[in-house]
Amino acid sequence: MDWLSATLAATLAAPLFLMAVVLFRQSGRARTLPAAFALISLSMLSTLGALGFAGLTIIEWLR
């Protein structure tokens, strides 16, 4: 179950990051910049969650 959760979190992080990159490229307007920062922070949290799940799985496997 831990590997499934880590894979799901990593899969969700990639589209968020791509959306943030698109918003940064179109950040001529002041409204899109906060949205880009929000998406980047969400993708970073998803990535950290995936790494955390993977780390916990490895620690349990090593025991």
Predicted confidence band at 27 (pLDDT cuts at 50, 70, 90)? Answer: low
41 pLDDT exceeds 60? yes
Per 3-state DSSP, the chain is made up of helix, strand and coil in percentages (nearest 5) of: 85, 0, 15
Q: What is the mean pLDDT of the chain?
A: 71
pLDDT at residue 1 is higher than 60? no
Chain-centroid distance, C-alpha 43: 3
Q: Domain extents for the chain?
A: 2-62
Is a pLDDT exceeding 70 seen at residue 57?
A: yes
Is the whole-model pTM more than 0.75?
Answer: no
Confidence band for 52, pLDDT divided at 50, 70 and 90: confident
Which of 50, 55, 46, 63 minimizes the C-alpha distance to 4?
50
Kindly state the tokens that stand for 19: 């959306």
